[in-house]
Structure 1
Amino acid sequence: MTFVQLLNMGSGIADAEFCNTPNAQWCRYTADKLAYYKGSIGKHVGDFINTPLVFKPGTNYSYANFNFVLLAYMVEKISGQSFSTYLQQNIFDKIGMTKSYFDPYSGGRGVRTRYVDEYMHFYEQPSADKKAGR
C-alpha cells in the first residue's frame, strides 16, 4: 500500500459506514463518534489496521475516511510531531492562519464563526431514501 493509494482511495481499506464485518471494533463508529473521536491517532489506527482489506491495493477505488487517519498517523511518525502541531506549524502558521487549528483527537476545530456565519447556513434535508419511501 502506498501514499498515493491512500490519497486516491485505492488502498483497499473499508470505510466504517459500509463495513462488511460487523464484529470489528471500528465498525461501531457512527458519524458523530467519527467527527469527534477522542483518544489518539495511534489508537484510532489500531482499531482498524488488522481488519482485512476489501480489495488488493491499487486494483479498485472505495472511499474510506480511514485512509486519511492512516495518512495522519504517518505524518506523526515521519515528522515526530503530533498531527495538530504539524498542521499548525507547516500549514496554518505559514499562510497566516494564526487563529485556526485542527485537533480532532482532543475535540478541537478552530473556525472563527463570526467570519463564516454570514456565508454558511445549515438546512435539515431528508435523505433520498426517505423521500423514496424506503
Structure 2
Amino acid sequence: MLDNKGSFYIMDAILAIFLLLIVFLVVNAAISIPTADYSYKSKDIRTAQDVMELLSGKIDFSDQTFLGKISNILEEGKNSKKSISEVSEISKSKLDSYKIKNYQFRENNVLKGKVLASKGDYSKAGNVNVAARTYGEYSYTLSVWQ
C-alpha cells in the first residue's frame, strides 16, 4: 500500500522551497539593479570626430567621400574664388544638415587656413572639439563647440 500522505507532504515542501527561491531571486534582482543616473547635457551636441567620420565616409554607396568631392571641386577649379565659394556653400549645407549649433570648417594646407563654413562666434567658444582629416593635398579641420 502506498503512503499518499507522505507524497503530499513532499510535493508541498518542494512547492514551498520553489516559491521561496523565486521570492529570493526577485528581491535579489531588485536590490542589485543599479539606478540609472545619466547626464543628458552632452547629448545635444555631436563631437567633431563623429561629424568628421561622417564627412570622410562614402556617399551613396559610391567610392567618393564628401571630403573627396569638395577636394576635387577645389582642385579642378584651381582653388579659384568660384570653386571656394561653391565648396563653402556645399559644406555649410552639409554641416547644417547635421544640426550642429556651432562649428567652423576650414582648409589648412593649400588654402592657408581659409574658413569654408562657419556657424556661431568662435571667439566666444568654450570647450571646443577639434578633428582633422586629410584628402590629397588638402587638410580639413572641423571645430565644434557649445
TM above 0.5: no
Category of TM-score, reference length = shorter chain: under 0.3
By relative contact order (CA 8 Å, sep 6+), the higher-ranking structure is 1
| Higher strand residue share | 2
Larger Rg belongs to? 2
